């Protein structure tokens, strides 16, 4: 396959007529598909075939959609470029020679390349919005609890949500309509309280921004690339022309968001990935009479460097004596970030920022620099810490490279995001 968009190309036909009949959907390879290999971009799960469908997959089938393949991703969702995949990197169809973003890079690339009408990704700290921005497509990270995670292989379960990619806001909203809503198999899901204002998310894509108030958190513009900031203000200008107003707001806590996110995400990952030991799940390194060695060998052989780094750091952060110093501090910072967003959203309908502070990197450029990659998540991770919904829409280019514009909304008010963003894409 061109550009290494899919890890597995296999068609799963829908069950009949529905809102997505005749539409093709690419599904990130950490979402379980019954009878179709689900690798999470890892050697550990190279041969894993789930015995059941994720709830979102079942809902896709019921909607009449045709699933066309399982997309490439950073291993277990850990990355910002799709380069940590065991199956090799994916090229960016909108900017060849550059990364498609991550971790849902294959899903964004599938839509950007026209290989699928729609796609599903997952967003733990930006993994839908980053690749949407880098590939010049639309991506939605739903409010925590709007979409079932049943059948999603967990990375950071208190942070992540499954969400849609599409070429337009309206199409992304159509896919959200299909996957959203409570699921008895995921107790964290609930009825969207803001949802009764509109019959469907797709109907909210009116492009009407008359009287919309936009808060611009100054902290999320600091340190961003000049061309990205220019494209951002152009998009704000376009919304103003349509009747929206903006004012600056401050989110002082976001200065700590990247640190807090990585402590929490790595801690959860160290626990979630404990099941991959070659016995319960995953690649087996063989057994020669010593279980400790057998487990260690399976994990040594099955996991890549970034996954190992995170399991080690997460285990350390949770270890006796250090728990209060790292994990508890990170939880305190998470509460502070939530409060800051609540305050800013009490005086604005939505908040706006560049999705990524930088344009897409060249393939290979950042492979050896994990810290710089973590810092590129500065504008996306605060939203996951606060459990809020966000959307990334294309906002032009800088030096020929796509720029993404992010809107963040109040919990379960996806409709406001969709209404506002549809004025742009
Ligand atoms: N880049 C972030 C990370 O590596 C986000 C990943 C994600 O959202 N899955 O953790």
Q: Domain-by-domain residue ranges, the chain?
A: 6-256+332-421
Q: Mean of the pLDDT values across residues 232-249?
A: 98
The DSSP result for 14-32, as a single string, is: -SS-STTTT-EEEEETTB-
Cβ contacts of residue 102 below 8 Å, gap of 6+? 73, 74, 79, 80, 81, 82, 83, 84, 127, 130, 131
DSSP 225-279: -HHHHHHHHHHHHHHHHTT-EEEEE--GGGGGHHHHHHHHHHHHHHHHGGGBSSS
How many Å lie between the centroid of ligand 1 and the Cα of residue 80? Answer: 6
Radius of gyration of the chain from its Cα atoms, rounded to whole angstroms: 20
What is the pLDDT, as a whole number, of residue 192? 81
- Residue 1's pLDDT is 43
**Ligand 1 geometric centre to CA of 419 (Å):** 27
Asked if 166 and 175 touch (Cβ cutoff 8 Å), the reply is yes
Report DSSP letters for 280-324, one per residue.
SBS-----SS-HHHHHHHHHHHHS-HHHHHHHHHHHHHHSTTTTI
Establish whether 338 is a catalytic residue. Answer: no
Predicted confidence band at 392 (pLDDT cuts at 50, 70, 90)?
A: very high
**How far is the centre of ligand 1, averaged over its atoms, from the C-alpha of 19 (Å)?**
31
- Candidate list 103, 148, 253, 353, residue with the active-site label: 103
Residue 103 designated active-site: yes
Per DSSP, the three-state class of 70 is strand
**Which tokens hold the place of 371?**
């810290």
Q: What is the pLDDT of residues 290-321, one digit of tens each?
A: 999 999 999 999 999 999 999 999 999 999 88
Distance CA 26, CA 29 (A): 9
Q: For residue 307, how far is its CA from the centre of ligand 1 (angstroms)? A: 12
**What is the CA(127)–ligand 1 centre distance, in A?**
5
- The answer regarding whether domain 6-256+332-421 maps to CATH 3.40.50.300 reads no
Mean pLDDT of 105-131: 98
Residue 62 has pLDDT above 50, yes or no: yes
Q: Provide the pLDDT for residue 194.
A: 58
What is the spatial distance between Cα 205 and Cα 416, in angstroms, rounded to a whole number?
9
Q: Cis peptide before 103, with omega less than 30 degrees from 0?
A: yes
- What pLDDT is attached to residue 198? 64
Residue 207: what pLDDT? Answer: 96
Q: How confident is the model at residue 15 (pLDDT cuts 50, 70, 90)?
A: confident
Q: Which residues of 324-334 are buried (b: 16+ CB within 10 A; e: fewer)?
A: eebbebbbebb
Q: At 354, is the pLDDT very low, low, confident or very high (cuts 50, 70, 90)?
A: very high
Q: Are 405 and 352 in contact (CB under 8 A)?
A: yes
Ligand 1 mutation pick, 73, 130, 366, max ligand atoms within 8 A of CB: 130
- Catalytic, 328? Answer no
pLDDT digits (tens, 9 = 90+) for 155-185: 999 999 999 999 999 999 999 999 999 999 9
Please indicate whether residue 78, judged by its CB atom, sits closer than 6 Å to ligand 1.
Answer: yes
Mutate to test the pocket of ligand 1, among 40, 73, 74, 100 (most ligand atoms within 8 A of CB): 74
Q: What is the pLDDT of residue 411?
A: 96
CA distance 133 to 402: 7
In ligand 1, the atom with minimum distance to the C-alpha of 79 is: 4
Kindly list the distances between the CA atom of residue 388 and the CA atoms of 69, 160, 338, 411, in Å, as whole numbers in the listed order.
29, 11, 9, 5
> What average pLDDT does the chain have?
96
With the most atoms of ligand 1 within 8 angstroms of its CB, the residue from 71, 78, 82 to mutate is 78
Ligand 1 atom at shortest distance from the alpha carbon of 78:
4
pLDDT value for 316: 96
Q: In what order do the strands lie in the sheet with 161-166?
A: 6-8, 66-71, 24-28, 118-123, 161-166, 138-141, 390-398, 401-408, 350-354, 213-217, 245-249
- Residue range 17-42: average pLDDT? 97
Instruction: Inform me whether the pLDDT recorded for 9 exceeds 70.
Output: yes
| Residue 114 region by backbone torsions, left for phi larger than 0, else alpha for psi between -120 and 50, else beta | left
pLDDT at 3: 84
């Amino acid at each position: 396959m061109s550009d290494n968009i899919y890890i597995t190309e296999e068609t799963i036909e829908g069950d009949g007529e529905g809102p997505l009949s005749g539409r093709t959907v690419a599904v990130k390879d950490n979402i379980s598909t019954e009878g179709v290999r689900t690798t999470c971009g890892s050697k550990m799960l190279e041969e894993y075939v789930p015995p059941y469908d994720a709830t979102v997959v079942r809902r896709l089938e019921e909607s009449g959609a045709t699933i066309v393949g399982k997309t490439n991703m950073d291993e277990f969702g850990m990355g910002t470029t799709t380069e940590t995949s065991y199956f090799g990197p994916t090229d960016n169809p909108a900017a060849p020679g550059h990364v498609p973003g991550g971790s849902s890079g294959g899903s964004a690339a599938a839509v950007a390349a026209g290989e699928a009408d729609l796609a599903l990704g997952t967003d733990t700290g930006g993994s839908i919005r980053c690749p949407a921005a880098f590939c010049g497509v639309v991506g939605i990270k739903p409010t925590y609890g709007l979409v079932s995670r049943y059948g999603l292989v967990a990375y950071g379960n208190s942070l992540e949500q499954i969400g849609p990619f599409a070429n337009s806001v309206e199409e992304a909203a159509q896919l959200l309509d299909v996957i959203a809503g409570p699921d008895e198999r995921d107790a964290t899901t609930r009825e969207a309280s803001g949802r009764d204002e509109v019959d469907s998310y797709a109907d909210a894509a009116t492009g009407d921004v008359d009287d919309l108030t936009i808060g611009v958190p100054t902290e999320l513009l600091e340190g961003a690339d000049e061309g990205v900031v220019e494209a951002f203000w152009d998009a704000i200008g376009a919304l103003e022309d349509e009747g929206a107003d903006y004012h600056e707001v401050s989110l002082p806590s976001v200065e700590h968001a990247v640190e807090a996110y990585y402590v929490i995400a790595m801690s959860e990952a160290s626990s979630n990935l404990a099941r991959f030991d070659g016995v319960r799940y995953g690649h087996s390194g063989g057994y020669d009479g010593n279980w400790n060695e057998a487990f260690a060998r399976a994990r040594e052989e099955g996991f890549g460097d970034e996954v190992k780094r995170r399991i080690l750091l997460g285990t350390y952060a949770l270890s006796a004596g250090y728990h209060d110093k790292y994990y508890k501090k990170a939880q305190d910072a998470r509460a502070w970030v939530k409060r800051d967003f609540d305050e800013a959203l009490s005086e604005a309908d939505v908040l706006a920022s560049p999705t990524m502070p930088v344009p897409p990197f060249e393939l290979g450029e950042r492979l050896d620099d994990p810290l710089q990659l973590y810092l590129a998540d500065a504008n996306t991770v605060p939203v996951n810490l606060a459990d809020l919904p966000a959307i990334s829409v294309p906002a032009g280019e800088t030096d020929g490279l796509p720029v993404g514009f992010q809107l963040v909304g109040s919990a379960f008010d996806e409709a406001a995001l969709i209404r506002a963003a549809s004025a742009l894409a």
